[in-house]
Amino acid sequence: MTNATTTHAGARFSRWQIRLHWLTLLLVAIACGAIEAKGLVPKGTPARDLLKLVHFNAGAPVGALMLLRLGLRMRRADPAIVPAPPRWQEGAARIAHRLLYATFLALPVLGVLALAYGGKQWSLLGLPVHDLVAPDKAVGHTLKEIHETWAEAGYFIVGLHAAAALFHHYVRHDSALAGMLPRA
Ligand code: HEM
Ligand code: HEM
Protein backbone atom coordinates (compact mmCIF):
# COMPACT_ATOMS: atom_id res chain seq x y z
CA MET A 1 0.00 0.00 0.00
CA THR A 2 1.24 3.54 -0.70
CA ASN A 3 0.51 6.79 1.09
CA ALA A 4 0.39 10.32 -0.36
CA THR A 5 4.15 10.84 -0.13
CA THR A 6 5.27 7.49 -1.51
CA THR A 7 6.81 7.67 -4.95
CA HIS A 8 5.75 4.78 -7.14
CA ALA A 9 8.21 2.40 -8.75
CA GLY A 10 7.64 1.78 -12.44
CA ALA A 11 9.30 0.75 -15.65
CA ARG A 12 12.46 2.59 -16.71
CA PHE A 13 14.02 3.86 -19.89
CA SER A 14 16.89 1.63 -21.11
CA ARG A 15 20.35 2.09 -19.63
CA TRP A 16 21.60 3.78 -22.81
CA GLN A 17 18.57 6.04 -23.10
CA ILE A 18 19.24 7.18 -19.52
CA ARG A 19 22.99 7.69 -20.05
CA LEU A 20 22.49 9.61 -23.29
CA HIS A 21 19.69 11.74 -21.80
CA TRP A 22 21.91 13.05 -18.99
CA LEU A 23 24.97 13.34 -21.24
CA THR A 24 22.87 15.50 -23.58
CA LEU A 25 21.85 17.72 -20.67
CA LEU A 26 25.51 18.09 -19.63
CA LEU A 27 26.58 19.12 -23.16
CA VAL A 28 23.63 21.50 -23.55
CA ALA A 29 24.54 23.10 -20.19
CA ILE A 30 28.18 23.53 -21.28
CA ALA A 31 27.15 24.94 -24.69
CA CYS A 32 24.73 27.42 -23.13
CA GLY A 33 27.05 28.31 -20.24
CA ALA A 34 29.89 29.04 -22.67
CA ILE A 35 27.85 31.23 -25.02
CA GLU A 36 26.29 33.17 -22.13
CA ALA A 37 29.75 33.64 -20.52
CA LYS A 38 31.01 34.95 -23.88
CA GLY A 39 28.84 38.03 -23.35
CA LEU A 40 30.84 38.87 -20.21
CA VAL A 41 34.23 38.81 -21.97
CA PRO A 42 35.57 41.75 -24.03
CA LYS A 43 35.48 41.41 -27.84
CA GLY A 44 38.65 40.32 -29.64
CA THR A 45 40.13 38.50 -26.62
CA PRO A 46 41.35 34.87 -26.84
CA ALA A 47 39.02 33.98 -23.94
CA ARG A 48 36.04 35.02 -26.05
CA ASP A 49 37.19 32.89 -28.99
CA LEU A 50 37.74 29.96 -26.62
CA LEU A 51 34.21 30.27 -25.21
CA LYS A 52 32.80 30.23 -28.74
CA LEU A 53 34.86 27.15 -29.58
CA VAL A 54 33.59 25.43 -26.43
CA HIS A 55 30.04 26.35 -27.52
CA PHE A 56 30.55 24.83 -30.99
CA ASN A 57 32.26 21.68 -29.67
CA ALA A 58 29.75 21.00 -26.90
CA GLY A 59 26.79 21.85 -29.14
CA ALA A 60 27.69 19.86 -32.26
CA PRO A 61 27.73 16.41 -30.57
CA VAL A 62 24.25 17.14 -29.18
CA GLY A 63 22.84 16.69 -32.70
CA ALA A 64 24.51 13.28 -33.05
CA LEU A 65 23.31 12.23 -29.59
CA MET A 66 19.73 13.23 -30.40
CA LEU A 67 19.86 11.13 -33.59
CA LEU A 68 21.17 8.16 -31.60
CA ARG A 69 18.47 8.67 -28.99
CA LEU A 70 15.79 8.83 -31.67
CA GLY A 71 17.06 5.48 -32.96
CA LEU A 72 16.95 3.95 -29.46
CA ARG A 73 13.50 5.36 -28.86
CA MET A 74 12.13 3.73 -32.00
CA ARG A 75 13.27 0.29 -30.81
CA ARG A 76 11.01 0.15 -27.76
CA ALA A 77 7.92 1.82 -26.36
CA ASP A 78 8.40 4.43 -23.62
CA PRO A 79 8.07 2.91 -20.14
CA ALA A 80 4.61 3.38 -18.66
CA ILE A 81 4.36 5.90 -15.84
CA VAL A 82 2.81 4.55 -12.61
CA PRO A 83 0.19 5.68 -11.70
CA ALA A 84 -0.81 6.66 -15.25
CA PRO A 85 -1.08 10.46 -15.68
CA PRO A 86 -4.28 12.01 -17.07
CA ARG A 87 -4.52 11.91 -20.87
CA TRP A 88 -3.88 15.64 -21.26
CA GLN A 89 -0.55 15.26 -19.44
CA GLU A 90 0.45 12.34 -21.66
CA GLY A 91 -0.42 14.46 -24.71
CA ALA A 92 1.55 17.43 -23.36
CA ALA A 93 4.58 15.19 -22.70
CA ARG A 94 4.41 13.78 -26.23
CA ILE A 95 4.38 17.28 -27.70
CA ALA A 96 7.20 18.42 -25.37
CA HIS A 97 9.40 15.44 -26.32
CA ARG A 98 8.83 16.10 -30.03
CA LEU A 99 9.71 19.76 -29.54
CA LEU A 100 12.88 18.75 -27.65
CA TYR A 101 13.94 16.43 -30.47
CA ALA A 102 13.18 19.04 -33.13
CA THR A 103 14.99 21.78 -31.19
CA PHE A 104 18.15 19.90 -30.32
CA LEU A 105 18.45 18.34 -33.79
CA ALA A 106 17.90 21.70 -35.49
CA LEU A 107 20.13 23.92 -33.31
CA PRO A 108 23.43 22.17 -34.11
CA VAL A 109 22.56 22.01 -37.83
CA LEU A 110 21.59 25.71 -37.90
CA GLY A 111 24.74 26.62 -35.93
CA VAL A 112 27.07 24.69 -38.24
CA LEU A 113 25.37 26.14 -41.34
CA ALA A 114 25.46 29.68 -39.88
CA LEU A 115 29.24 29.39 -39.55
CA ALA A 116 29.60 27.75 -42.98
CA TYR A 117 27.55 30.41 -44.82
CA GLY A 118 29.26 33.11 -42.76
CA GLY A 119 32.57 31.85 -44.20
CA LYS A 120 33.87 31.19 -40.65
CA GLN A 121 36.41 28.50 -39.90
CA TRP A 122 36.32 26.52 -36.67
CA SER A 123 37.54 23.17 -35.42
CA LEU A 124 35.53 20.22 -34.21
CA LEU A 125 37.53 18.20 -31.68
CA GLY A 126 40.70 19.63 -33.21
CA LEU A 127 39.72 18.89 -36.84
CA PRO A 128 39.28 21.95 -39.07
CA VAL A 129 35.78 22.57 -40.43
CA HIS A 130 35.50 24.91 -43.41
CA ASP A 131 34.32 25.18 -47.03
CA LEU A 132 31.15 23.15 -46.37
CA VAL A 133 29.20 25.52 -48.65
CA ALA A 134 29.90 28.60 -50.77
CA PRO A 135 29.81 31.46 -48.21
CA ASP A 136 26.91 33.91 -48.38
CA LYS A 137 27.00 36.45 -45.53
CA ALA A 138 23.29 37.30 -45.76
CA VAL A 139 22.24 33.64 -45.52
CA GLY A 140 24.77 33.14 -42.69
CA HIS A 141 23.31 36.07 -40.78
CA THR A 142 19.73 34.83 -41.19
CA LEU A 143 20.70 31.32 -40.04
CA LYS A 144 22.47 32.78 -37.00
CA GLU A 145 19.34 34.80 -36.12
CA ILE A 146 17.11 31.72 -36.44
CA HIS A 147 19.61 29.71 -34.36
CA GLU A 148 19.61 32.34 -31.62
CA THR A 149 15.83 32.77 -31.52
CA TRP A 150 15.19 29.01 -31.51
CA ALA A 151 17.84 28.61 -28.77
CA GLU A 152 16.00 31.13 -26.59
CA ALA A 153 12.79 29.16 -27.12
CA GLY A 154 14.85 26.05 -26.26
CA TYR A 155 15.59 27.46 -22.79
CA PHE A 156 11.87 27.80 -22.25
CA ILE A 157 11.05 24.29 -23.50
CA VAL A 158 13.79 22.69 -21.35
CA GLY A 159 12.61 24.73 -18.35
CA LEU A 160 9.03 23.49 -18.79
CA HIS A 161 10.28 19.93 -19.32
CA ALA A 162 12.40 20.00 -16.13
CA ALA A 163 9.52 21.59 -14.17
CA ALA A 164 7.19 18.84 -15.43
CA ALA A 165 9.68 16.19 -14.22
CA LEU A 166 9.69 17.79 -10.74
CA PHE A 167 5.90 18.05 -10.78
CA HIS A 168 5.62 14.33 -11.55
CA HIS A 169 8.04 13.46 -8.77
CA TYR A 170 7.06 15.81 -5.96
CA VAL A 171 3.39 16.49 -6.66
CA ARG A 172 2.08 13.38 -8.43
CA HIS A 173 4.59 11.04 -6.74
CA ASP A 174 4.66 8.94 -9.88
CA SER A 175 7.47 6.98 -11.53
CA ALA A 176 8.30 9.45 -14.37
CA LEU A 177 11.55 10.88 -12.94
CA ALA A 178 12.68 7.57 -11.44
CA GLY A 179 12.27 6.02 -14.90
CA MET A 180 14.94 8.39 -16.24
CA LEU A 181 17.37 8.17 -13.29
CA PRO A 182 20.30 5.74 -13.22
CA ARG A 183 19.67 2.80 -10.90
CA ALA A 184 21.17 3.51 -7.45
C1 HEM B 1 22.75 22.12 -28.26
C2 HEM B 1 23.14 22.84 -29.23
C3 HEM B 1 23.18 24.35 -29.19
C4 HEM B 1 22.52 25.23 -28.38
C5 HEM B 1 21.52 24.93 -27.26
C6 HEM B 1 22.91 26.56 -28.78
C7 HEM B 1 22.47 27.73 -28.18
C8 HEM B 1 22.93 28.99 -28.50
C9 HEM B 1 22.61 30.20 -27.78
C10 HEM B 1 21.72 30.24 -26.52
C11 HEM B 1 23.21 31.22 -28.40
C12 HEM B 1 23.20 32.70 -27.99
C13 HEM B 1 21.91 33.34 -28.36
C14 HEM B 1 21.90 34.80 -28.00
O15 HEM B 1 22.91 35.35 -27.55
O16 HEM B 1 20.86 35.38 -28.19
C17 HEM B 1 23.95 30.69 -29.53
C18 HEM B 1 24.70 31.44 -30.41
C19 HEM B 1 25.44 30.89 -31.42
N20 HEM B 1 25.62 29.56 -31.69
FE21 HEM B 1 24.73 28.03 -30.75
N22 HEM B 1 23.80 26.47 -29.82
C23 HEM B 1 24.01 25.13 -30.08
C24 HEM B 1 24.85 24.58 -31.00
C25 HEM B 1 25.65 25.31 -31.86
C26 HEM B 1 26.58 24.76 -32.82
C27 HEM B 1 26.84 23.27 -33.02
C28 HEM B 1 27.14 25.79 -33.47
C29 HEM B 1 28.18 25.78 -34.57
C30 HEM B 1 29.08 24.85 -34.72
C31 HEM B 1 26.58 27.01 -32.93
C32 HEM B 1 26.89 28.30 -33.37
C33 HEM B 1 26.45 29.45 -32.79
C34 HEM B 1 26.84 30.77 -33.23
C35 HEM B 1 27.76 31.09 -34.41
C36 HEM B 1 26.22 31.66 -32.37
C37 HEM B 1 26.35 33.19 -32.39
C38 HEM B 1 27.54 33.51 -31.53
C39 HEM B 1 27.92 34.96 -31.58
O40 HEM B 1 27.17 35.78 -31.04
O41 HEM B 1 28.96 35.24 -32.13
N42 HEM B 1 25.69 26.68 -31.94
N43 HEM B 1 23.76 29.32 -29.55
C1 HEM C 1 17.12 19.34 -15.55
C2 HEM C 1 16.86 18.95 -16.75
C3 HEM C 1 16.06 17.75 -17.14
C4 HEM C 1 15.27 16.90 -16.38
C5 HEM C 1 14.98 16.96 -14.89
C6 HEM C 1 14.73 15.91 -17.30
C7 HEM C 1 13.91 14.85 -16.92
C8 HEM C 1 13.34 13.94 -17.77
C9 HEM C 1 12.47 12.86 -17.39
C10 HEM C 1 12.02 12.55 -15.97
C11 HEM C 1 12.09 12.21 -18.51
C12 HEM C 1 11.13 11.00 -18.61
C13 HEM C 1 9.76 11.48 -19.02
C14 HEM C 1 8.73 10.40 -19.26
O15 HEM C 1 8.81 9.31 -18.70
O16 HEM C 1 7.80 10.67 -20.05
C17 HEM C 1 12.72 12.85 -19.62
C18 HEM C 1 12.58 12.48 -20.94
C19 HEM C 1 13.11 13.16 -22.00
N20 HEM C 1 13.97 14.24 -21.93
FE21 HEM C 1 14.59 15.19 -20.26
N22 HEM C 1 15.18 16.18 -18.56
C23 HEM C 1 16.00 17.27 -18.52
C24 HEM C 1 16.65 17.86 -19.56
C25 HEM C 1 16.51 17.50 -20.89
C26 HEM C 1 17.15 18.14 -22.01
C27 HEM C 1 18.17 19.29 -21.93
C28 HEM C 1 16.71 17.52 -23.13
C29 HEM C 1 17.01 17.80 -24.58
C30 HEM C 1 18.13 17.82 -25.10
C31 HEM C 1 15.79 16.48 -22.72
C32 HEM C 1 15.11 15.64 -23.59
C33 HEM C 1 14.26 14.62 -23.22
C34 HEM C 1 13.56 13.77 -24.16
C35 HEM C 1 13.61 13.88 -25.68
C36 HEM C 1 12.83 12.85 -23.39
C37 HEM C 1 11.92 11.72 -23.90
C38 HEM C 1 12.60 10.38 -23.68
C39 HEM C 1 13.67 10.11 -24.71
O40 HEM C 1 13.34 10.03 -25.91
O41 HEM C 1 14.84 9.98 -24.30
N42 HEM C 1 15.69 16.49 -21.36
N43 HEM C 1 13.48 13.91 -19.16
> Ligand 1: which residue has its CA nearest to atom 40?
35
Ligand 1 pocket member 116 (CB < 6 A): no
pLDDT digits 0-9 by tens, 2-53: 444 566 677 899 999 999 999 999 999 999 999 999 999 999 999 999 999 9
Residue 155: φ, ψ to 5°: -55, -45
pLDDT tens, residue by residue, 48-84: 999 999 999 999 999 999 999 999 999 999 999 999 9
What phi and psi, each to the nearest 5 degrees, are found at residue 122? -150, 175
Cβ–ligand 2 contact at 47 (below 6 Å): no
The H-or-E segment that residue 178 falls in is: none
Q: pTM score, two decimals?
A: 0.94
**Atom of ligand 2 at shortest range from CA of 176:** 15
